[in-house]
Amino acid sequence: MTTERVFIMENPQKLNFREIVQEKDISGSVFDEQLVFDQLKTINLKKGIPVKSCLCHTGDEDIWCVLIHHCCVDGISWRIILEDIHTMLGQTANGQAITLPAKTSSFQEWAYYLETDDQPPVPTGNARTGEKSMHGYCLKTQLADVHYEDMKKVNKSCGLKNIEIFLAALILAKSRIPDYAEKPIIVEMHGRDTVNQAFDFTRTVGWFTRMGSVDILQKNEDYESIILLAKEKCRQNQAAYDLDMLKTWVYTLPDDGIRFNYLGEFRDTYTLFFASPYLDPRMDIIYPLEIDMVIQQQKIHIMQRMSQCSGDSALNTLFFKQYQRALGEIIDYCLQKSEMILTPSDFSIQLSQEEFDGLYQ
């Protein structure tokens, strides 16, 4: 494994609980999540502290802000953690002993499996070296013109997943911006797929995210072809999740492009607490343009960031507006269709797109 992917802890020692959890009384003032996270400062993995949090007492309620480094959790890990917190709070309130579901395979086992199996060939191209910058332009919004109910209708009537709808809109939007029309899209995929039958990662907390490059040059605005392309690319990336891909993705990702990450739909209302994911604009910018999306309370939230070396705030705003417009157009097109949008991945037999198209001619 490359040294760039190894964290060396400096003089690791037993952690002090107060280094991880802070407590603040903010009675009489307005709660500001940005201010709280700023005060928690940046996590330093070399000091062995991947988690920081702050319990804020407002007088009317308690708000627990938790910051965990992305190398320790992905979107699905957060859901596992929140479900366990909810279970423990309920058991404690009822005077019961804390009992959680059975432990699954550890993230350490998964990492060890990757290390001890056959190593990938030495890459001939340049691996990403992890250059990053915190200087850029950031836009965040809740998409008021794109309705959750319409998304659900498209899921059912056209057989499309949310990430496929969002990716189709991104393909359409970038085709309209000359500076980005030819750039590949780097898609983050999430899940707990099994790379070996000996492992079960369904309840394992860790960073299982994998990234796949979608190199697309769309020269027209044919909604149908764009949707078909997005659907197949997403499912090809999902199906390609195997050991070889896990070991080599770091060498094959392009250095330039648009990073797209759909974090999924978060359950925010539990019986005993309310949880709210926070898209932090302070995250490092690795690619020229980065888009993060999440669905919460049946609302679509988006954060778009552009590095200063890739453009200016006007270009960032232009792309931001084009993406929202393209997403509305894709959803409207799907709502007008009366049949499923099928691709080869919908069938158990292996078919190329050409063979699949021939069946309907």
The confidence band for 170, taking pLDDT boundaries of 50, 70 and 90, is very high
Specify whether the CB–CB gap between 74 and 207 falls below 8 A.
yes
Specify whether the CB–CB gap between 187 and 97 falls below 8 A.
no
Specify whether the CB–CB gap between 154 and 230 falls below 8 A.
no
The neighbour count for residue 272, using CB atoms within 10 Å, is: 12
- DSSP secondary structure code for residue 4 in this structure: G
Q: How many CA atoms lie within 13 A of 208 on its CB side?
A: 28
Report the pLDDT value the prediction gives residue 216, as an integer from 0 to 100: 67
Report the pLDDT value the prediction gives residue 129, as an integer from 0 to 100: 37
CATH for 107-126+135-359 is 3.30.559.30
Specify whether the CB–CB gap between 264 and 301 falls below 8 A.
no
Report the pLDDT value the prediction gives residue 6, as an integer from 0 to 100: 41
Specify whether the CB–CB gap between 40 and 54 falls below 8 A.
yes
Radius of gyration of the chain (CA): 22
Mean pLDDT over the full length of the chain: 76
Letter for the amino acid at 322? Answer: Q
Dist CA 347 CA 103 (whole Å): 34
| Percent of the chain whose pLDDT exceeds 90 | 19
pLDDT at residue 197 tops 80: no
Dist CA 290 CA 233 (whole Å): 19
Report the pLDDT value the prediction gives residue 9, as an integer from 0 to 100: 45
The predicted-structure confidence for 62-114, as pLDDT tens digits, reads as follows: 888 888 877 788 878 888 898 999 999 999 999 999 999 998 888 888 777 66
Which of 199, 201, 274, 191 minimizes the C-alpha distance to 235? 191
Dist CA 170 CA 258 (whole Å): 9
Sequence-distant (6+) residues with CB within 8 A of 300 are 142, 143, 146, 148, 151, 293, 294
Dist CA 20 CA 11 (whole Å): 17
The predicted-structure confidence for 269-309, as pLDDT tens digits, reads as follows: 788 887 777 777 767 788 889 999 988 888 899 999 888 77
Q: Burial code of 290-309, b = ≥16 C-beta within 10 A, e = fewer? A: bbbbbbbeeebbbbbbbbee
Conformation bin of residue 78: beta by default, left when phi > 0, alpha when psi is -120 to 50: alpha
Conformation bin of residue 277: beta by default, left when phi > 0, alpha when psi is -120 to 50: beta
Domain with CATH 3.30.559.30 in the chain: 107-126+135-359
Least confident range of 23-32, 127-136, 180-189, 332-341: 127-136
Which one has a higher pLDDT value, 245 or 333? 333
Pairing of β 289-296 and β 299-307 = antiparallel
Sequence-distant (6+) residues with CB within 8 A of 339 are none
